[in-house]
A and B are shown apart, each in its own frame.
Chain A
């Protein structure tokens, strides 16, 4: 393999990871796996941001990725706490059974 690796290669990896994350959120009914898929999508966006940052030789993308890390950590902390409480009340993590907000 003697080709050079450029911006587009990283963008393709980013697209693939993001689509896999979307598929996980759409097709899985386990709330924990849906959370993991959201994390996967955030990481895919980080790949593309850092690739553009490298392409433009600009450090602003690194700051953005750091903020995404902080927001992801906060989201996981609160989201999993809510999930634990729902599990204690409903005894399941299947999102199809989380219908008590509609009733």
Chain B
């Protein structure tokens, strides 16, 4: 039963990833990527990483992808760039498929045993956050600082655009 769900979720995740990369329209790509992230969250849950599965849904599929969709729709999805031609692309694809076949046969023939049973509370909020707030508290604070700096940077860029537009309006030179 575990194997069935693993193949279901991983197959769907890979399928959605392929659709993300191959769709011409960026909005369609974003929706396929959300679907891929939800399937990956299911894989996280199967790895007993329950807290990370919740965060994957909330942060990745929720916050980050909503932001992506916002910007994609704002920029307009009219830019359908022509497909590149040449010999490079098919050669790289063939090389990738060969390398992939080798990696998969190596990986799947080496060890076939399953995981040991996880102890109680493995991957839960309590255990992960206890580790995060004791041993790795410096990394935790630094990631908070990083997010603060990123927010300030994004606001700074947006504010500079606003100021340029205001000077255009005052000068009367806006088209």
**Chain A contact residues, CB within 8 Å of chain B:** 1-13, 15-17, 19-21, 23-24, 26-30, 32-33, 35-37, 39-40, 43, 46-47, 50-51, 53-55, 57, 59-60, 62-63, 65-67, 69-78, 80-85, 87-88, 92-94, 96
Contacts and interface: CB of A to CB of B under 8 A. Distances in A.
A26 B92 contact: yes
| Highest count of chain A CB atoms <10 Å: which of B4, B20, B48, B146 | B20
B110 to A, nearest CB: 6
Contact of A69 (B29, B60, B103): B60
Given A57-B119, A69-B55, A80 B68 contact: yes
B96 A19 contact: yes
Contacts, number: 227
A93 B150 contact: no
A36 B55 contact: no
12 contacts: A9-B108, A10-B43, A15-B107, A17-B14, A17-B36, A21-B17, A32-B75, A63-B136, A76-B68, A77-B154, A81-B153, A82-B157
Contacts of A73: 59, 63-64, 147, 150
Interface string B82-120: 001000010011001000100110011011111110110
Q: Which secondary structure characterizes the binding site on chain A?
A: helix
Contacts of A4: 2-3, 112-114
Contacts of A36: 20, 26, 29-30, 33, 68
Size class of B's contact patch?
35 or more
| Highest count of chain B CB atoms <10 Å: which of A59, A92, A93 | A59
Given A30-B26, A67-B139, A92-B79, A1 B17 contact: no
A71 B103 CA distance: 29
B175 interface: no
B146 A71 contact: yes
A12 B108 contact: yes
